[in-house]
Every structure is written in C-alpha cells, then in structure tokens.
C-alpha cells in the first residue's frame, strides 16, 4: 500500500523492489516470493517496516508455486509492460 514499494497482498509484501546507488554504479532488482521459506522473516523486521508481513505466491494460492513455473510468464509480462526485448546470455562453451 502507498507509500511502500513492492507488490503487496493486504499488509504482506509479496515482491520486494530495490535500487542501490554507490561508487558511481546503480543496481536494481526484485525478489518475487514464489515458494520461499517464510519462517526466516519471523526473525527480522522485513524491509524495516514494523507491523507488516511477508507472503508468497504459494501461501496466497494455497499450493506449491515453483520459480520455474513463474519465470516465463513473468518475463513475458515484463517485456510487454516495459516494451522491451530480453536477451539471455549465451551458455559458456
């Protein structure tokens, strides 16, 4: 929920989005919780947000959701939304 970044299901974060700037380098990324062991989040304050939780696609859908089943539809949607083409690096050798 605004003003928080990421993708939320109620008061629980499903996907974290981050940007880091330092030493003249900017990096960014995201973490979409598919089948994450959420018990680790019981030991921290996720993203420094008191009173907010973390969830996963598996928890929300009530079934195991593997990263491999999410990757292709996610990348397809990313290309559509950002009007770009993603290129995979060539395999070594």
Residue 1 has pLDDT above 60, yes or no: no
pLDDT of residue 48: 84
- DSSP for the chain? -TT--SEEETTEEEEEEEEEEETTEEEEEEEE-SS--GGGGGGS-GGG-TT-EE--HHHHHTS---HHHHHHHHHHHHHHHHT----PPPPP-
Q: Which of 15, 34, 35, 47 is catalytic?
A: 47
Q: Is residue 52 part of a domain?
A: yes
Q: Number of structural domains, the chain? A: 1
Q: 84 catalytic, yes or no?
A: no
**pTM assigned to the model:** 0.79
Q: Is residue 90 part of a domain?
A: no
Which domain, by its residues, includes 36?
A: 7-82
Q: Is residue 1 part of a domain?
A: no
Q: Is residue 60 part of a domain?
A: yes
Task: Express each pLDDT in 34-88 by its tens digit.
Answer: 999 999 998 998 888 888 899 999 999 999 999 999 999 999 999 999 999 998 8
Mean pLDDT calculated for residue range 12-26: 91
Q: Is residue 25 part of a domain?
A: yes
């Amino acid at each position: 929920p605004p003003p928080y970044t990421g993708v939320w299901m109620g008061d629980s974060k499903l996907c974290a989005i981050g940007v880091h700037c330092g030493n003249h380098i900017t990096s960014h990324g995201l973490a979409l919780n598919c089948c994450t062991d959420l018990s680790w989040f019981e030991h921290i304050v996720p993203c420094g947000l008191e009173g907010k939780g973390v969830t996963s696609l598996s928890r929300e859908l009530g079934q195991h959701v593997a990263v491999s089943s999410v990757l292709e539809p996610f990348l397809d949607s990313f290309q559509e939304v950002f009007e770009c083409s993603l290129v995979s690096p060539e395999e070594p050798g």
